[in-house]
Structure 1
Amino acid sequence: MSHERLLAFARETLDIEISEAQRMRDRLDGSVVTACRLLLACKGKVIVAGMGKSGHIGKKIAASLASTGTPAFFVHPAEALHGDFGMIDARDVVVF
């Protein structure tokens, strides 16, 4: 692939990402505010759950929260059924 074609491909990819980010921005509603308020009011831990690709992303989110001072961890939904629910209490917020 030529230098010019690679640059064009990179630019096209970024154009798609920009377009989708703008579409996502336009769809934001009160549910984002509700989620933010829940997280800001959390007196316990933020537990992020997911499996598959969303689980991989959930692990990164939990790690980022924990590294910036928010008590957080990831739990796999299947593992939660086998004892990990014991790590969650009423003060926590669970993000699926």
Structure 2
Amino acid sequence: MLPRSDQSQLLQRLRVGATGLVLVVFLIVLASALFRSAIDEPPIGEDVATVEGSANAALANLAASNPDEPLAELGISPGTAPGDNAASPEPR
């Protein structure tokens, strides 16, 4: 049999260990609940109907485009340079 001081020290160590273990399990459950609630929320900013509407409009534009112009299908118009849209000053 252990002396009285060793036995009380052993019980205190067991209590501290069990308390720490319970605290760690509680923190894991809390973090899991927070992440689950963050995943279940709807996305911020864009409405799902708006995204679906723009996707449907893009598909309709692709279907209506001329198959002879592959650059037009990509949204690129031939013959324009990137800086041609800016207004250039007229020479005097």
- Same fold, TM exceeding 0.5? no
Does 1 or 2 have the higher relative contact order (CA < 8 Å, sep 6+)? 1
User: Which structure has more strand as a fraction of its residues?
Assistant: 1
TM-score by length of 1: 0.32
